[in-house]
Structure 1
Amino acid sequence: MSSAATFAARLRWWRTHRGWSQLSLAHRAEVSQRHISFLELGRTQPSREMVLRLAAVLEVPLRQQNALLHAAGFAPMWRESGLAESALSIVDRALDHVLRQHEPYPALVVDRQWNVLRENRASRQLTSFLNGTPERAPDPAAPVNLADVLLGPHLLRPLIVNWLDVAHALVQIVHADALSDGSEETAALLARLLRYPDVPKLADIPRLEQPREPILTIEFRKDSIAFKLFTVIATLGTPQDITAQEIRIESFFPADSNTARLLEGWAAEG
């Protein structure tokens, strides 16, 4: 959707993006279908309150809510703060606390497009082992993209035993993100991932060659060392800042006792 799109075009795009009829949206927003029709035709200009009501009903993310407000001639409502700013100091401390408490298991913070913003010591140790490089903290000026690292042909992909299953799951997650946030950035990320060699398409059916585990694990093997991890992804509840809404914490857990011993051993050595 063009950044110059009118409010009418944006409203129509979000409604069709959600797969709703005008009547369905009108019912959810408790307005008449005629009013929705006039808004989408540009024959009626919305109030600020109506923009926010429709955005809430359509579950439009905060960043795109600001775009809707701007297109309707109103000032943005939602602030986008840096994690280092005082406005997000409690969030910043909470993220550091979560990362520390997850030791000796890896955990990292990523943004909406899977760029790594920060990680704990265990995550840096894991990355150093897999890449064969010294430990280093994430560079905010040039963040590493976790999705590219997992699906690109020359990084971690050769070390992932069940790469096809992992790739299929990650493509589905990014596709769901693109449907949810409607942003050009997430759509571009999805398109980039699908261009990588052998990345499964959305319509591809996962292999069913053996009974499925209750949760997908990532199985790594480097030289003679093999280990299995699964992830828990958390978001902040009730965010009222764009940055706070878009960040995620991805925590890795050992999927077997051998992996737990390996990670705990690295922590003891470090």
Structure 2
Amino acid sequence: MPIRSDHAAFGDLLRDCRRARRLSQLDLALHADVSQRHLSFLESGRARPSREMVVQLAQALDLPLRERNRLLHSAGFAGLYPQRRLEAADMQPVQAALDLLLRHHEPYPAVVVDRAWNLVMANAAMERVLAMTGDPQERWRKVCGDGPRNIMKMTFHADGLRPLIVNLNEIAPPFLARTAREALEHPDVQDVLDEVLRYPGLPSKLRHIDLEASHLPVLPTHFRVGDIDLRLFSMMTTFGTPQDVTADDLRVESFFPADEASARLLRMLAG
């Protein structure tokens, strides 16, 4: 049964999702196996979609589960995908998998974050790396206050890691561009991005995001703490075929040493 929706109009949201993926109406119509005329009517509000049509379009757009639910809500239907807490009993296999990945990545750092870069879990190696910069708890407090610990804020805040990143002007554009693309569909990501871009002292050229920013396949971040240099690059891991919004939002960022000196440093920190 359709339900009342207080969300954006379905047609507007559908059009925004399509444009965010740089698809024409014809492109999406072909992907979704519907006529362009019908798609035009849906976007303009001249036609109302069935639940099956909303699901079909969401799949064609390859929307994250959270956004599939949002699209269903905007059309007046209940969402299909639940959102459980990570601590819930039936999420234990997910939590166990994340624990395993973090432990097995030692002595290299690894974290679990959500789409807005809020820190969900971290291994001991990440704690050791942050401890190189001083008291990690105090640094988190200065950057995030009483709010959720956020990796993006920690990276760009003046009291976070920004002063320690030697090649900030190299690594920031692709990082910000990726986040800006995700923010087109996720308001919570946009909130974090807006806050970061308002940080005092952030180089002005970084406030103008180039969505097409691209660099080499792997771009190490170069940290310098005193006379110690640490170069790391990262790899993202996500769950395949998730059926829960929380699982779909989570990703593991695993950091690897970019040179032997960094590998030795990380092994030394691990004792």
Task: Calculate the TM-score normalised by the size of structure 2.
Answer: 0.86
Residue 150 of structure 2 is aligned to residue 145 of structure 1: yes
Which whole-Å deviations, capped at 9, do the CAs of 1:9-61 have from their partners, x for residues lacking one? 22222223333332222222111222212222323221111110011111222
For structure 1, the residue ranges without an aligned partner over 5 or more in a row are: 207-211
1:214 Cα offset (Å): 5.8
For residues 213 and 31 of structure 1, what CA distance do their matches in structure 2 show? 38
The match for 1:96 is: 99
Contact 1:147–1:170 (CA under 8 A) maintained in structure 2 = no
Structure 1 pair 120–113 and aligned structure 2 pair: CA distance change class (3 A): same
What whole-Å deviation, never above 9, does each CA across 1:40-87 have from its counterpart, x for those lacking one? 232322111111001111122211111111122211101111111122
Deviation (angstroms), 1:256: 1.4
Alignment of 1:101-250 (within 5 A): 101-133=104-136, 142-179=147-184, 182-196=185-199, 197-198=202-203, 200=206, 201-203=208-210, 215-250=218-253
CA distance in 2, matches of 1:133, 1:151: 16
CA-based RMSD of the aligned residues comes to: 2.7
Question: 1:209: which partner in 2?
Answer: none
Q: Deviations over 1:88-110 (max 9, x none)?
A: 11110000000000011111101
Alignment match, 2:15: 12
Find the aligned partners of 1:24 and 1:248 in 2 and give their Cα distance. Answer: 29
Aligned to 2:24: 21
The one-letter amino acid paired with 1:222 is V
Q: 1:68 to 1:266 in 2, by over 3 A?
A: same
> 1:155: how far off?
1.4
Whether the 8 Å CA contact 1:119–1:137 is kept in 2: the answer is: no
Please tell me whether the aligned partners of residues 108 and 251 of structure 1 are also in contact (alpha carbons under 8 angstroms): yes
TM-aligned CA deviation for residue 174 of structure 1: 0.7
* 1:83 corresponds to 2:86: yes
Contact 1:23–1:33, Cα closer than 8 Å, also in 2:
yes
Q: What is the aligned-residue identity percentage?
A: 43
